[in-house]
């Protein structure tokens, strides 16, 4: 027994006041924490591999009882994560029941946010919704964290999106304030399914909630609006102007999307106006913007503006790429300035921009349209020497040009090459060649071409059959028997 004289003054004061000894160091908070950590380590060591299901809840209870302490949130989080990895749904339900009816601590919200996300991954949407409504019963104050997890789940499908309005109403009753991230999830989902009008309404709601304008959200909505087939130019430009009033400053990508939309709609001059606005606002358009606008104004036949645009981009120090040159060369050929287009090939090569097959096909079409077939043949030879292989489009251009100028013999040569090199089920040019051969009385040659077409599984058109049948006379011949074979294959 300790004598009173051996006690320190502070101990004597404690005894006089409380009439009992101080709390044993083995019962302090740090000791409880130590025991819980030891129990948690024991739980982790006792946990089975993922392919060996076990009642983890029983293991949790036993581990913490062994150390004479209560389970903590960290232990429950570990158990729930382990069960989600092994998809033990029934055990998850029993863990949640014990968490609600037995434990007393305040449960961290991140546990439920993780579990809601897991239910979404395994397509158990209703379980995710039920858990969200159950959060207050599990001694946790729900916030936008768990709500966002549920919104991610629901916005992943059209069926889930239909449930979002009810969830938002219930979340309001649960005193959950929507955060900017919540609006972002909704806008992303609505834009993803093409409901841009609803996305704009959601963004307006976000602003009315007191949040500032989200630049990324505006850009996303603008991009989605430009992708809508039923959008009008007025809607696109109107949206941009309205957002500008709220402080939105469109960037290069935003203007590029608007220009691309205008060009697709055949509104090249409107695209040119957008380009001008960019420069007024201090944004230097890149070569992609210039190329798109160049394509738009050429499509509208405004070649004067096209020339000015091309000169302007050069003065600004922009380097045209092969796409820019192809657009400009196409404009020259549309004006029958094929020689100027041919000169562009030399300019391209001097600047290190190698012309591609599209460039040559554009020029070939221009030469054929102006009747310069000899120069077109030379150009095909140049292509071969430069290692630029011809394609089906090249042969069709030459075939149409040769037939248009009445050079049936060479057209037949090109037709043979097309049948040998390319798989083409149908080509209207073939019908024209066969029709032309029949009109010139070269029925035998037309029959030979027809036979080759049939052997290559190429279907002749009605015009070819009509010409052959009219040229073959009244008695059944090769054309009729071939037609019969095609209609009634053996």
- Give the residue from 227, 248, 269 where a domain finishes: 248
Residue 398: which residues within 8 A CB-CB, separation 6 or more?
A: 364, 368, 376, 380, 414
CB-based burial of residue 422 (10 Å sphere; 0-12 exposed, 13-18 middle, 19+ buried)? middle
- List the single range of 147-151, 259-263, 264-268, 458-462 with lowest mean pLDDT: 458-462
CA pair distance 32, 307, nearest whole angstrom: 82
pLDDT at position 324 is 96
Look at residue 479 in the predicted model and tell me its pLDDT. Answer: 45
Task: Give the pLDDT band of residue 205 (cuts 50, 70, 90).
Answer: very high
Cα dihedral across residues 476, 479, 482, 484: positive or negative: negative
What tokens does 394 get?
Answer: 């090249």
Flag the least confident range among 12-16, 220-224, 412-416. 12-16
The pLDDT of residue 51 is 47
Phi, psi of 329 (to 5 degrees): -60, -40
Q: Tell me the average pLDDT across 44-73.
A: 82
Mean pLDDT of 42-51: 74
Least confident of 229-233, 363-367, 458-462: 458-462
Instruction: State the average pLDDT over residues 83-107.
Output: 92
- 231-235, 280-284, 307-311 — which is least confidently predicted? 231-235
DSSP 25: G
Closest to 329 (Cα-Cα) out of 289, 374, 286, 364: 364
Residues near 320 by beta carbon (within 8 Å), at least 6 away in sequence: 287, 291, 310, 313, 314, 328, 351, 353
- Output 388 or 413, whichever has higher pLDDT: 388
Task: Look at residue 8 and tell me if it is in a domain.
Answer: no
Region 357-381: mean pLDDT is: 93
Q: Is residue 399 part of a domain?
A: yes
More confidently predicted of 484 and 183: 183
How much is the pLDDT for 392?
79
Question: Which segments within 136-202 are labelled E, that is strand?
Answer: none
Q: Is residue 343 part of a domain?
A: no
- Per-residue pLDDT, 243: 93
**pLDDT mean over 431-440:** 76
pLDDT at 458: 73
Residue 473 has pLDDT above 60, yes or no: no
The CATH number assigned to the domain holding 453 equals 1.25.40
Q: Which of 203, 220, 248 finishes a domain? A: 248
Question: Rounded distance, CA 488 to CA 153, Å?
Answer: 56
DSSP at 371: T
Read off the tokens for 362: 């554009």
Summarize the confidence of residues 215-238 as an average pLDDT: 90
Decide which of 433 and 320 is more confident. 320
Residue 183 pLDDT exceeds 50: yes
Q: In percent, how much of the chain has pLDDT > 90?
A: 58
In whole angstroms, how far apart are CA 151 and each of 135, 163, 212? Answer: 15, 10, 21
Residue 22 is predicted with a pLDDT of 54
Q: What mean pLDDT comes out for the span 250-269?
A: 95
pLDDT of residue 480: 47
Arithmetic mean of pLDDT, 67-75: 93
Please state, in angstroms and as integers, the Cα–Cα distance from residue 397 to each residue in 54, 66, 385, 400, 433, following that order. Answer: 72, 87, 19, 5, 13
The H-or-E segment that residue 461 falls in is none
**C-alpha span between 202 and 214 (Å, rounded):** 12
Tell me which long-range contacts 401-405 makes (C-beta under 8 A, separation of at least 24): 401/364, 401/365, 401/367, 401/368, 401/369, 401/373, 401/376, 402/368, 402/373, 403/429, 403/432, 403/433, 403/436, 404/368, 405/371, 405/373
The average confidence (pLDDT) of the chain is: 85
**What is the tens place of the pLDDT at every residue in 331-349?**
999 999 999 999 999 899 8
Domain boundary among 199, 224, 248: 248
* Cβ atoms 407, 371 nearer than 8 A: no
Where b means 16+ CB within 10 Å and e means fewer, 83-118 reads bbebebeebbeebbeebeeebeeebebebbbbbbbb
Q: Give the range among 326-335, 446-455, 467-476 with minimum mean pLDDT.
A: 467-476
Name the domain count of the chain.
2
Q: How confident is the model at residue 402 (pLDDT cuts 50, 70, 90)?
A: confident
Highest mean pLDDT among 18-32, 120-134, 425-439: 120-134
Task: Report the alpha-carbon distance of residue 4 to residue 16 in Å, rounded.
Answer: 12
Least confident of 61-65, 80-84, 231-235: 231-235
Q: How far is residue 15's CA from residue 466's CA, in Å, rounded to a whole number?
A: 122
* pLDDT computed for residue 488 by the predictor: 47
Enumerate the H helices of 174-232 as residue ranges: 180-192, 196-208, 215-227
Residue 243 in domain: yes
Q: Would you say residue 413 lies in a domain?
A: yes
**Least confident range of 36-40, 185-189, 346-350, 440-444:** 440-444
Q: Is position 461 within any domain?
A: yes
Residue 20: pLDDT over 70: no
| Tokens (6 digits) for 359 | 């460039």
Predicted local distance difference test score (pLDDT) of residue 399: 80
Average pLDDT rounded to a whole number, residues 192-211? 92
- Domain with 188, as residue range(s), is 179-248
**Is the confidence at residue 21, as pLDDT, over 60?**
no
474 has a pLDDT exceeding 50: no
pLDDT band of 357, cuts 50, 70, 90? very high
pLDDT of residue 275: 97
What single DSSP character describes residue 486? H
- Evaluate whether residue 443 is within a structural domain: yes
Asked if the structure places residue 401 within a domain, the reply is yes
């Amino acid at each position: 027994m300790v004598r009173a004289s051996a006690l320190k003054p502070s101990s004597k004061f404690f005894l006089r006041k409380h009439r009992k000894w101080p709390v044993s160091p083995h019962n302090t908070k740090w000791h409880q924490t130590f025991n819980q950590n030891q129990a948690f380590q024991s739980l982790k060591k006792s946990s089975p591999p993922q392919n060996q299901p076990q009642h983890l809840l029983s293991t949790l209870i036993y581990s913490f009882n062994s150390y004479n302490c209560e389970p903590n949130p960290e232990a429950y989080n570990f158990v729930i994560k382990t069960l989600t990895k092994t998809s033990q749904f029934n055990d998850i339900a029993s863990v949640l029941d014990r968490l609600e009816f037995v434990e007393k601590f305040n449960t961290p919200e991140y546990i439920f946010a993780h579990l809601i996300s897991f239910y979404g991954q395994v397509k158990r949407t209703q379980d995710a919704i039920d858990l969200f409504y159950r959060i207050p019963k599990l001694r946790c104050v729900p916030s936008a964290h768990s709500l966002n997890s549920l919104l991610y789940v629901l916005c992943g499908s059209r069926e889930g999106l239909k449930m979002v309005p009810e969830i938002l109403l219930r979340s309001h009753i649960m005193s959950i304030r929507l955060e900017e991230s919540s609006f972002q999830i909704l806008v992303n989902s609505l834009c993803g399914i093409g409901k841009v009008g609803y996305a704009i309404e959601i963004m307006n709601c976000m602003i009315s909630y007191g949040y500032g304008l989200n630049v990324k959200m505006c850009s996303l909505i603008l991009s989605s609006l430009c992708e809508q087939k039923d959008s009008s130019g007025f809607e696109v430009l109107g949206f941009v102007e309205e957002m500008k009033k709220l402080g939105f400053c469109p960037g290069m990508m935003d203007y590029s999307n608007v220009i691309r939309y205008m060009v697709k709609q055949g509104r090249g001059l409107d695209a040119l106006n957008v380009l001008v606005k960019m420069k007024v606002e201090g944004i230097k358009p890149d070569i992609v913007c210039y190329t798109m606008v160049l394509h738009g104004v050429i499509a509208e036949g405004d070649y004067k503006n096209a020339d000015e645009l091309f000169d302007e981009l050069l003065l600004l120090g922009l380097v045209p790429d092969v796409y820019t040159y192809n657009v400009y060369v196409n404009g020259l050929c549309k004006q029958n300035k094929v020689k100027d287009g041919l000169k562009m090939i030399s300019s391209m090569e001097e600047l290190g921009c190698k012309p591609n097959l599209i460039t040559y096909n554009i020029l070939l079409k221009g030469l054929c349209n102006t009747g310069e077939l000899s120069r077109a043949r030379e150009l095909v030879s140049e292509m071969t020497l430069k290692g630029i292989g011809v394609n089906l489009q090249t042969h069709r251009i030459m075939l149409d040009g040769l037939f248009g100028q009445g050079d049936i013999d060479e057209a037949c040569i090109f037709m043979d090459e097309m049948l040998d090199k390319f798989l083409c089920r149908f080509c209207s040019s073939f019908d024209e060649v066969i029709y032309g051969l029949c009109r010139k009385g070269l029925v035998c040659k037309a029959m030979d071409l027809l036979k080759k077409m049939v052997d290559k599984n190429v279907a002749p058109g009605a015009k070819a059959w009509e010409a052959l049948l009219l040229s073959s006379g009244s008695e059944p011949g090769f054309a009729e028997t071939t037609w019969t074979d095609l209609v009634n294959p053996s």
